[in-house]
Chain A
Amino acid sequence: MLAHSANLVTEKALIGIPRKKETAPVLASQKQIETSCVIIDANTSPKLEEVRVEMANMKVESRPVELLTSVGSCVAICLHDAMNKCGGLAHIMLPTSNNPLLEPLPSKFANTAVPALAKAVREISGNDIRLSAKIAGGANMFANLGPNSLDIGGKNVQAVKAALALHKIRLEGEDVGGVSGRRITFNTHSGIAVVKSFRGASRIL
């Protein structure tokens, strides 16, 4: 049926009879679609797989993935190996473990998570590789949590910085403190961490 009508058109064209102009009614909404342009974002890269790191956990990846976590008064520590393009992320809850050597969950405390994460990254990349660190978190959302609470966010940040200095890992970027929580995505390939706070714009570390 389609082929037949197409033939008819060509025949008409050959003979040279002017075709009657098609004046199908065009709806306003259809016009809109025709005229609107398609916006192509130059920064849109093929999306990487997102891997969520739960609270008091850590993950190390040699594949290029986006490690993702959200923190309030906790702190996210991202370690990156620029040579081998791999890295890991730890989500810590508390500043110091009382029993650092026998801690069942080392990724829960700042002073045990930093060596554990560094060790896990170095298992992929080799022993004497230089690592760089980026940290985010340590917010204090409620001004007054009652008399027996302290500024845990600030203490977490201090403890993480101390642990990084102790293990000779350079701190490349930080986004800490404040009153709002953060969502962190860490690209294990490029080492770029994007920190998005709930109210503010996203910040690239």
Chain B
Amino acid sequence: MNKQINIDATSEQGNVKASFSEQSQVDSGILLELGSIGAGHAATSLSDVIQQPVTIDLPKILNLQVHLIPSFYNLHEVPTIGVFLQLMEDNGCDILLMLELSEARKIAAMMTMASSIEELDPSMETSAIHELANILIGSFLTAISDFVGMTLLPTTPQSALDTFDAILDTFLVKQSMLSESALIFETRFKRLGEDAKCILMIFPSSELRNQLIQKSKTLLNL
């Protein structure tokens, strides 16, 4: 009995919810599996672009109360480039690619064949990072849509350079208008031997979630 209470308490404090019902465990398993397929393809294409090995963390689904998310990431004042896209058919689904500034510069320099970061033109940098987001998220969505047989097209990217909290803030406010808690699908990419992270966050809308789960279930005869 005590154990049960403890689990509830930790989930309230913002840890990953441990208590999914059986049905939703299957559902989140399906979403995670779809995400892993997408993330694998995205990592491969990122690796192709920069000609370097790329590792990914196991994708996670976080279901947290919205206001606890910044302290969960704990990257408050880290300079970050946030690239934002949406799905063309579904305005409720936000896709956010968070790149640490130093890492983004390095990748942009590799993509534009600049010999050093100092040589990089600012407009070229922005364009390279948009392109990176297009490639990464494009291959992510293509892999998923090939699997479930749905068309998932991203809009054109927009980016902002600011602190991690300030960028995330905008999206959390948007999420909190809809519900108390936010469901985030998250994967982290890392270049081999580098510490800087590149975090892909997706806030899927409930319609998209249901559609994906239904389509996968019919495919798997569940």
Contact = CB atoms under 8 A, between A and B. Distances in A.
A94 interface: yes
Contacts of A148: 91-92
Interface stretch (B130-138, B155-163, B184-192): B155-163
Nearest to B158: A142
Q: Which of A72, A142, A149 has the most CB of B within 10 A?
A: A72
A146 B170 contact: no
A198 B158 contact: no
Given A144-B158, A146-B86, A139 B173 contact: no
Chain A CB count within 10 A is highest, among B79, B91, B92, for B91
Interface stretch (A5-13, A18-26, A34-42, A49-57): A49-57
A70 B169 CA distance: 9
A160 to B, nearest CB: 14
A180 B162 contact: yes
A141 B167 CA distance: 7
Given A142-B84, A198-B161, A181 B167 contact: yes
B77 A70 contact: yes
Contacts of B67: 54-57, 93, 105, 108
A149 B162 CA distance: 20
Place the interface of chain B in its size category.
20 to 34
B215 interface: no
Nearest to A182: B166
A205 B141 CA distance: 46
A190 B70 CA distance: 28
Contacts of B161: 198
B170 A73 contact: yes
Interface in A27-81: 52, 54-57, 70-74
A73 B168 CA distance: 10
Given A55-B70, A148-B91, A198-B166, A143 B158 contact: yes
Interface in B74-91: 76-77, 79, 82, 84, 86, 91
Interface string A134-178: 000001011111111100100000000000000000000000000
Contacts of A152: 170, 173-174, 177
Contacts, number: 93
A56 B177 CA distance: 13
Contacts of A70: 76-77, 163, 165-166
Interface in A101-134: 105, 108
A72 B70 contact: no
Contacts of B165: 55, 70-72, 181
B162 A141 contact: yes
A150 B153 CA distance: 23
Nearest to B155: A146
Interface string B163-204: 101111110111011000000000000000000000000000
B104 to A, nearest CB: 15
Nearest to A56: B67
A85 interface: no
A152 B167 CA distance: 14
A-B residue pairs, 6 tightest by C-beta: A181-B166, A56-B67, A72-B169, A72-B166, A70-B165, A141-B160
Given A55-B169, A71-B169, 19 more contacts: A54-B67, A55-B66, A55-B70, A71-B166, A72-B162, A72-B169, A73-B169, A94-B173, A108-B176, A141-B170, A142-B158, A145-B84, A145-B170, A148-B91, A148-B92, A180-B166, A198-B79, A198-B162, A198-B166
Interface of A: 52, 54-57, 70-74, 93-94, 105, 108, 139, 141-149, 152, 179-183, 198
